[in-house]
Amino acid sequence: MDEKGKAGITRQEALELLGKYLPQDNLIKHCLATEAIMRALAQKLGSDEGVWGIAGILHDLDYTETKDQMNQHTLHTEKILQGLGVSREIIDAIKGHNADNLGFQRGTVFEHALTAAECITGLIVATALVYPDKKLASVKPQSIIKRMKQKEFARSVNRDYIRECETIGIPLDEFAALSLQAMSRISDELGL
């Protein structure tokens, strides 16, 4: 995990970038949750865990700067990461998760995976917060699916993006279970 490998950046370097550009605790947690799911997805699909994990960590790197101009979101990240020699594959996947605002269509498995992963984190956190202990340990995959069907629940979470898991061959219930399990492994870091 300390090697730059195909990613062109180490996990430690990626975390330092996060601390520099996106210091808000809740956003860092969102990125770590996304990383955990991306690693699990890479394992399942036979992709490079290190590469997919880094994309999870860095996908919202410029959010502080671009949150009010979403047609710029990920483009600042692209410049930063290009300058550091991060792999093109990672940069493209990061841009892909904002494809709608950038005016193109997602095409690769990596792009769909990142989009679905980063979106389901929000739904899972919101589901956990419903329970008295507010812990992931209380959440079952079926509760996530149930909440997903309630339009008013965590309404800012885009359900269509979560359903992109099906585009990459993972049924929704399986995706919810995999994501919950991945986030549960880092529940202490997530404070959930």
Q: How many CB atoms lie within 10 A of CB 80?
A: 16
Cα 10 to Cα 50: distance, rounded to the nearest angstrom: 9
Closest CB 115 distance from Fe ion, rounded Å: 9
Among 60, 62, 89, 164, interactor with Fe ion by CB under 5 A: 60
Closest CB 70 distance from Fe ion, rounded Å: 12
Sorted by sequence, the CB contacts under 8 Å of residue 106 that are 6+ apart come out as: 96, 97, 99, 112, 115, 164
Give the residue with the Cβ less far from Fe ion, 118 or 164: 118
Indicate the angle between helix axes 141-149 and 109-128, nearest 10 degrees.
90
Binding segment toward Fe ion, per CB under 5 A, in 103-111, 115-123, 126-134, 135-143: 115-123
Binding segment toward Fe ion, per CB under 5 A, in 56-64, 66-74, 81-89, 101-109: 56-64
Among 13, 35, 89, 118, interactor with Fe ion by CB under 5 A: 118
**Rg (alpha carbons) of the chain, rounded to whole number:** 16
Which spans of this chain sit near Fe ion (rule: CB under 5 A)?
Answer: 60, 118
